[in-house]
Amino acid sequence: MKHDFPRSFPRCSPSSALGAVIAVAAVATTGCVTDPTNGEHFQGGNPTYFAGFAEAPGATVEVQVRNKNTNLWEVLSTTVSSSNATVYGGQTVYHWSTTGTILDFSYPNTFCRLTANCIPQIDATASVRVVEVGSSLAEMITFEEDGLDCTVDGVNRGEDLFASAWNCQSPSSPQLELVHH
């Protein structure tokens, strides 16, 4: 999902990371996930796009999904954050993006990412988290659909950027619950 920001800010997209930086630059010490947001749907058999910001350049970022049968986290995808810094409001962050297929019908073991009995069901949820490997606060915060706009609104009202982003994070943060569609 692409997030719409007020007209005075660029739009968040895979090719234009600055828009999301406005909403999340202050969480550079924890990193954050800007796409997808909590509760979004994913389609089995297709890759899901993940993006956000890490606290360090060239950081290894892992997207992990919980196996509900074993209750262990499995690495879904690994990427490296950009070496090009994005600076906003005195904060420096590094964009990252990747894709991963949560439910792959060719691999029945991925069915356990939806249910403990490993039988895929429509509207079952997958628990996902994103980790910046080696970071002191490794698990990145996540947002609800309106979380990035909430953060921008808070900053526009004069709130501290860190406080605004932190206050607007998802109640399920640092996990995302993504719904199989």
Residue at 12 is within a domain: no
The domain of 79 spans 18-180
Residue at 13 is within a domain: no
Residue at 1 is within a domain: no
Whole-number pLDDT of residue 174: 92
Residue at 132 is within a domain: yes
Residues 24, 152: Cα–Cα separation, whole Å: 9
Whole-number pLDDT of residue 141: 87
Residue 175 confidence (pLDDT) above 50? yes
Residues 132, 109: Cα–Cα separation, whole Å: 25
How many folded domains does the chain comprise? 1
Residue at 6 is within a domain: no
- Residue among 152, 145, 149 nearest 178 (CA): 145
Per-residue DSSP letter, 65 = E
- Identify the residue whose tokens are 């996540």: 142
The predicted-structure confidence for 75-99, as pLDDT tens digits, reads as follows: 999 999 999 997 765 567 799 999 9
Residue at 51 is within a domain: yes
What are the structure tokens assigned to 146, written together? 């309106």
pLDDT band, very low/low/confident/very high, at 152 (cuts 50, 70, 90): confident
The predicted-structure confidence for 31-56, as pLDDT tens digits, reads as follows: 889 999 999 999 999 999 999 988 89
Residue at 152 is within a domain: yes
Residue at 2 is within a domain: no
48 contacts 102 by C-beta, under 8 angstroms: yes
